[in-house]
Structure 1
Amino acid sequence: MALRFASVVATTLLASTALASAADVSVPYDPAPAAPQPAAIDYGGDDFVFELGIKGVVDPEYLGSDEYRVLPGAIFSVEYLNLPGLGSFGGPDGLGFSIGPSFNVVGERKADDHSELQGLDDVDTTYEAGIKVSYEWQNAEIYGSARYAFGGAEGFVGDAGANLIARPTETVTLKLGPTVSFASKGYMEDYFSVSPAESIASGGRFSAYDAGGGVKSVGVAASARYEFTPDWFLNADASWDRLVGDAADSPIVEAGDKNQYSFTLGVSKRFSLDLF
């Protein structure tokens, strides 16, 4: 059987060689097509390129909750910024170092709206503002942000992460990677601590607890972005975060859920300005 198979292979190879020689055909090597590259954008003389849009958000009712709500949200990101004398951040292909603003809003937490929180103090809406820096390669990126929180909770909060990036076409970008978030003691106290007075007011359902600062959560985030027409984008994001450390040990979280999920879907448009 082995000799017969070898004979068939040899005959086939000889026949193929003979046919190629007779036809005098030369077949060049055809490598696999290269992966799509980020489309380079001609900014012309513009110094500031950014995106604005709207989105729908599905996230927990409050930090540590096991119930979810749907809210509207805004999309704002800086794609390119040129500052005379200081240099430029971002670029036409979206690769390299970039820096821009970072914002977040955490909705109010009212005990009257959630029977499981009876006895706890309300926390007003918290606003967070700061900066985000990132560095992107063709197939990966790293990023980090730091924000100051004020309003309902006060302190500092931030997050960091890394993503693998896939670009199946020039108009589609997919990202997936791990995330970690941090918060100062003041921020953690406002959301996760239980004072002795609150413990008594809750009828003992919540024991007194003093949360410290540090790592707040770890998780995974994924995003998909589609440029369906020039300068218009459809954006979808999903994340899973697990509260850890002092946040996870809070009686408030123990009565809810350490696992926190978020989903967003939105549309945005690129704008360009000539500032200088």
Structure 2
Amino acid sequence: MHKRKAYSKLDDPRFLLMICCLISAQASRAAAVDLPGMLPSMVGGGLGSTTDYAGGKDRFVGAVPGVRYVTDGGRLFELYGPYAQFDLGGVTGLQYGPAVSLRLGRSHVDDPVVSQIHEVHTTVEGGGFVGYEYEHVGTVPYRLRGSVTVVTNAGVVYTGARVSLNGSFWMPVYRRVFAGAGVGASWVSQGFNQVYFGVTQEDSARSGLPAFSPSGGLEQMTGWLAAIYQFNKHWFGGAMIYYQRISGSAADSPIVTQRGNRNQITYGAGVAYAFD
């Protein structure tokens, strides 16, 4: 029987960079550096490789969509894979609004030991974000963006909340080539870590891993590099690599230390179409 992969690795709400959702979404910002004041709406998708779940080492290949739509009133809707947000502020400057994320669970994993640990069900997270985007249109144009996102699933799967801080930088390096980089970090509640990284006494008896009850706090640090090429007015292509380092109490989980790796790599490529 075909096993359904667990996508719980997708836990960075601002850049959800599972793959090149970032490329399809951020391409519009890179284009805007070349064409100040013109921020096109875009749709795209990416294909890439990531780990089965946060802290794991088995990998799979997957595809994800990306959408960026600017309304007639200047509001911005963004969809990156399982994460969506609606900006009630400006396309540049202060940005804020609601955010929704589909956090997929950990089940039917390939690892024979981790498969004996409690399954984690898919859940919907809701919350909001606030950020600021700065556009520099001088001799060397560039864009800076920073944001804070807070989401929770109100105790459906985990208790408490997740808080993510992210920043990005984009600039043109040639007429049709753009480069970007970003950093981020996430803080989580104890209830979150216990669900995704904890090992109960029952889990321990089944799997042979030691019981573990993590605390909350810093859960991961992230960094990414990306490049985008503009083929013509409408089409963009890009590639990226995204690094996550499981941190804090989560990094001490036997799921990570004995069966996985605290260093997580995601990479992929994608295309995007810009429309007026």
TM-score by length of 1: 0.68
Q: Is 1:39 the equivalent of 2:35? A: yes
| 1:231-259 Cα distance to aligned partner (Å, 9 max, x none) | 33223221111111111011111121000
Q: 2:234 aligns with which of 228, 231, 234?
A: 231
On the 8 A contact 2:88/2:97 being kept in 1, the answer is: no
Residue in structure 2 matched with residue 160 of structure 1 by the alignment: 165
Helix, strand or coil at the partner of 1:66 = coil
On the 8 A contact 1:108/1:152 being kept in 2, the answer is: no
Q: Distance in 2 between matches of 1:142 and 1:37?
A: 17
Structure 2 unmatched ranges of 5 or more: 1-31, 76-86, 137-141
Q: Distance in 2 between matches of 1:163 and 1:211?
A: 30
Q: How does 1:194-209 map to 2 (within 5 A)?
A: 194-202=199-207, 205-209=208-212
Helix, strand or coil at the partner of 1:248 = helix
Q: Distance in 2 between matches of 1:218 and 1:155?
A: 20
Residue in structure 2 matched with residue 148 of structure 1 by the alignment: 152
Residue in structure 1 matched with residue 67 of structure 2 by the alignment: 76
On the 8 A contact 2:134/2:145 being kept in 1, the answer is: yes
Residue in structure 1 matched with residue 90 of structure 2 by the alignment: 89
**CA RMSD for the aligned pairs?**
3.1
Helix, strand or coil at the partner of 1:198 = helix
Residue in structure 2 matched with residue 60 of structure 1 by the alignment: 51
On the 8 A contact 1:51/1:271 being kept in 2, the answer is: yes
Shift of 1:230: 1.7
Q: Which of the two has higher C-alpha Rg?
A: 1
Q: Is 1:219 the equivalent of 2:222? A: yes
Q: Distance in 1 between matches of 2:175 and 2:101?
A: 30
Structure 1 unmatched ranges of 5 or more: 1-35, 44-48
Q: Distance in 2 between matches of 1:127 and 1:56?
A: 23
On the 8 A contact 1:39/1:170 being kept in 2, the answer is: no
Shift of 1:268: 2.0
Helix, strand or coil at the partner of 2:231 = strand
Q: Is 1:242 the equivalent of 2:245? A: yes
Q: Which has the higher contact order (CA 8 A, sep 6+)?
A: 2
Q: Distance in 2 between matches of 1:270 and 1:64?
A: 35
The letter for the 2-side match of 1:257 is N
Q: 1:110 aligns with which of 107, 110, 113?
A: 107
Residue in structure 1 matched with residue 178 of structure 2 by the alignment: 173
TM-score by length of 2: 0.68
The letter for the 2-side match of 1:82 is G
* Identical-pair percentage: 22
Q: 2:193 aligns with which of 188, 191, 194?
A: 188
Residue in structure 1 matched with residue 268 of structure 2 by the alignment: 264
| 1:161-196 Cα distance to aligned partner (Å, 9 max, x none) | 333433113543211232212222222221101111
Q: How does 1:23-38 map to 2 (within 5 A)?
A: 37-38=33-34
Residue in structure 2 matched with residue 134 of structure 1 by the alignment: 132
On the 8 A contact 1:111/1:119 being kept in 2, the answer is: no
Q: Cα distance 1:87–1:115, how it changes in 2: closer, same or farther (>3 A)?
A: closer
Q: Cα distance 1:82–1:236, how it changes in 2: closer, same or farther (>3 A)?
A: same
On the 8 A contact 2:33/2:135 being kept in 1, the answer is: no
